[in-house]
A = this chain, B = another copy of it.
Amino acid sequence: MVDRKMDILIALKEAGKEPISGEEIGEKLGISRTMVWKYIKILEEDGYVIGSSPGSGYVLISAPDKLYPSEISIGLDTDIIGKDIHYFESVDSTNDMAKKMGFKAEEGTVVIAEMQESGRGRKGDRWVSPKGGIWLSVILKPGILPVHAPRLTLMAGVAVARVIRQFGVDASIKWPNDVVIDGKKVCGILTEMDAEVDHIGFVVIGIGINANVSVDELPEELRGGCTSLSSINGENINRAAFVQDLLRSLEAEYLRFKLEGFSTILKDWISLSDTIGRQVEVITPQKIIAGKATGVTAEGALIVETSEGMQEVMAGRCIYK
């Protein structure tokens, strides 16, 4: 698909601080100068600030703080994840949107939104998703059995924790699906699947990151347990660049998952986790399992050393004691 707007943006970005004339851009793309001018206006409407002077040409002065596909795609060197990006200013839930697209979408398709009206955490829990955060879902078609789907949640946890660490912040993974900084939640991961009983059609990995979110914006009951990248960093981060790094990190882990198998990812998960070795209480619908977390199984279950022996917990809310 020809995306003129994106092509013109690429030309402006390549030109950098040097003005580039409408004529030159037009020649490059095989369109008229007037057409170039029309697209420049559209880019300005999108929030790009573009300098222009009659004699010299156009200069990209600044990009808007938006997670536009163009901002993420240009310079993204992945082969699978993020080749197709669907952007929404606002959406009910990126996971729901991705699930609607799932069957027809190419593997690696990303749905991203500036905000979610009804963001969801596990088991339908509300997930507050204001502007400034990173709310995205990735569609994967991993060809694994449904029983192995939890591995993808662990894989995504490794990818997110790694990219935050690259960013210079000491993030850890809290079983089963949170990434935390100093014990406070900065990211939640929600893996959902559309599956036959022995065959996954597609998996949607939802990743919600409190990026440029003020903790004060969150509902009072969440403030104590949450943090954000901007509050740790002292100022807003470049979300588009962060998303690029995140998609690269996800692709690296996913390729490792496919080529080397899950065991190396599990090892990394354990070394990135702050759950293992802790006294925990895991609250399940049936009971509370209390003891020392000693490991995670290949199926994603937490191994807890209780007073009654070792127990494996597949699902539950984990509290550190």
Contact = CB atoms under 8 A, between A and B. Distances in A.
A149 B146 contact: yes
B146 A196 contact: no
Interface stretch (A62-70, A186-194, A244-252, A256-264): A186-194
* Chain A interface, >50% SS class: mixed
Contacts of A314: 145, 198
Nearest to A120: B196
Nearest to A152: B197
Interface string A99-134: 100000000000000000000001100000000000
As for how many copies of this chain the complex holds, the number is 2
A122 B195 contact: no
For A146, A149, A153, A201, which residue has the most chain B Cβ atoms within 10 angstroms? Answer: A146
B99 A194 contact: yes
A38 interface: no
A199 interface: yes
Interface in A262-321: 300, 314-315
A189 to B, nearest CB: 10
B196 A195 contact: no
Contact of A146 (B122, B146, B176, B201): B146
Contacts of A315: 145, 198-199
A197 B150 CA distance: 5
Contacts of A123: 196, 199
B195 A193 contact: yes
Contact of A196 (B190, B197, B199, B201): B190
Interface of A: 99, 122-123, 145-147, 149-150, 152-153, 176, 190-199, 201, 300, 314-315
